[in-house]
Amino acid sequence: MKNRFLIFSISLTLVHTAATWFCIFVANFLGFQDLNEPPAKVSLVFTEVAKILLLPGRLVWGNWMYENMLNFLELLIHPTIWLAFLANSCLWGFGIASIWMRSIRRT
């Protein structure tokens, strides 16, 4: 049971990471259009989904980023951001897996 929980948690963590990166990429890719036009509705939807998937980590590193105000290149190579992103995905993966396993045990 513990091995299945661990495999399921890691799988959900990877799925969450891939889904978050996909939503961020699509939202930013669709956002590159004429500045005179409003953003596409699909871009807005993916932006909101990405915001949800980045919670609760966004609440933690949002304050840290406002205090330190790194530029974009420093942000890409800064290990704290990547560790926070990975921790956020692990929290989602292990949280959903534990809820799922508890519901299976009760039935």
The pLDDT-based confidence of 73 (bands split at 50, 70, 90) is: low
Residue bearing the bigger pLDDT, 63 or 41: 41
Mean pLDDT of the chain, nearest integer: 76
Which amino acid is present at 50?
A
Residue bearing the bigger pLDDT, 78 or 75: 78
- Please tell me the distance from the alpha carbon of residue 75 to that of residue 69, in angstroms, as a whole number: 9
Nearest to 30 by CA among 44, 14, 20, 18: 44
Does the predicted TM-score (pTM) go above 0.85? Answer: no
The pLDDT-based confidence of 74 (bands split at 50, 70, 90) is: low
Is it the case that residue 13 has pLDDT exceeding 70?
A: yes
pLDDT given for residue 33 in this prediction = 64
Question: Is the Cβ–Cβ distance between 96 and 12 less than 8 Å?
Answer: yes
Question: Is the Cβ–Cβ distance between 33 and 53 less than 8 Å?
Answer: no
Question: Is the Cβ–Cβ distance between 30 and 46 less than 8 Å?
Answer: yes
Question: Is 87 exposed, middle or buried (CB count within 10 Å of its CB: 0-12, 13-18, 19+)?
Answer: middle
